[in-house]
A and B are shown apart, each in its own frame.
Chain A
Amino acid sequence: MLKRAFAIITLLFIGLWMASALSGVDFGADRMLVGKYYLNNVMMETGAVNTVTAVVVNYRGFDTLGEVTVLFIASTGVGALLWRRKKERTARTEGSVVLKTGARILLPFIMLFGAYIFIHGHLTPGGGFPGGATIATAFLMLYLAFTSYEIEHRVFEPLEGLAGMGYVTVGLIGLAIGGYFLFDWIWQTWGWGHGNIGRLFSAGFIPVIYTLIGLKVGTELTGIVDNMVKEEVSE
């Protein structure tokens, strides 16, 4: 009782403190300094219509590289924590017929939609991470509906690594051509897609990188799911 009251009072004080700090910022005020630059120059410099993905991939590409690394470490960490010599799925009940049929029918649509999200990262909201998560959802659905389903490990784990390597390779090619890591060589040096901003083939390397990130995130989250639904089997 005393503990709970103390926790509530502490939280109230923290909330009050944050509210008083935020009350100095008037809502809706124009305080953009860097943001103005992004909004004014994003089309010319990157070719992307979606400013968020241009900022995330082009202007602040290192953050995305860090996020991809964090996901990779999370996947590796789960794999290391749950590592057993012999693992099998020990699900006991098969999904009902409706669920299985539904999963089978919906699978290609969800995959297609995930691919759509990460391919159109420079045009529509989304990008590599939501697209990859959507693809992982499709695999999660298969895991939930079928007791014996298992991903092809020989395809998934190399694909994950290759996608991450592809991202770094694109950045390193930029380093060789333009002088710094993640330099957008397709847009800046080749000038490819300058004529059709707002179409699919534009925005330099954003679609390329987002396709790679989408594949990586999709396979990674699927791998985490795969690790978590399995249990050790004794001989």
Chain B
Amino acid sequence: MIASYIGEFLVIFGTIFYLLSTLGLIRMPDVYNRMQTATKSATLGSLGVIVGTGVWAIDHVGSYAWLPKTIVIAVFLLLTNPISAHALIRAAYKSGIPLWEGSVVDRYKEALGAENKEGGEE
């Protein structure tokens, strides 16, 4: 009984975060901000939905077999999603996509410039 409620809550929680991340995709001004909302809240939402399904199944289907599978999927997603987001954003920066015009500081650019002046490598 209680597992069913927890599972339902987790699934709704995750779905709300999915909705928020989709809204973020539309609302945010540039690539980096959009990636921020899309990856973070979509990862969290996925965790909620996936683990919630496993918990929900304990009562609803009467099977404990769903929970370990969903946890494995959730952990895999938790490990891989940030890496893919990192790679995407880095590639976006390297291919010269500009920051939002309201951005104040770009330390990475300064660091790259300093490196070029000092070493001259790459």
Contacts and interface: CB of A to CB of B under 8 A. Distances in A.
B63 to A, nearest CB: 15
Interface in B76-107: 76, 79-80, 83, 86-87, 90, 94
A98 B80 contact: no
B80 A96 contact: no
Contacts of B79: 102, 105-106
Contacts, number: 19
Contacts of A109: 76
A95 B90 CA distance: 10
Nearest to B85: A98
Contacts of B86: 96, 98-99
Chain A at the B interface: mostly helix, strand, loop or mixed?
A: helix
Chain B at the A interface: mostly helix, strand, loop or mixed?
A: helix
Interface residues of B, number: 8
B76 A99 contact: no
Contacts of A105: 79
A93 to B, nearest CB: 8
Nearest to B80: A106
Contacts of A95: 87
B13 to A, nearest CB: 27
A41 B86 CA distance: 51
Interface in B2-59: none
4 shortest A-B CB distances, which residue pairs?
Answer: A102-B83, A98-B86, A99-B87, A96-B90
Interface of A: 93, 95-96, 98-99, 102, 105-106, 109
Given A95-B87, A96-B90, A105-B79, 16 more contacts: A93-B94, A96-B86, A96-B87, A98-B83, A98-B86, A98-B87, A99-B83, A99-B86, A99-B87, A102-B79, A102-B80, A102-B83, A106-B79, A106-B80, A106-B83, A109-B76
5 contacts: A95-B87, A96-B86, A98-B83, A98-B86, A102-B83
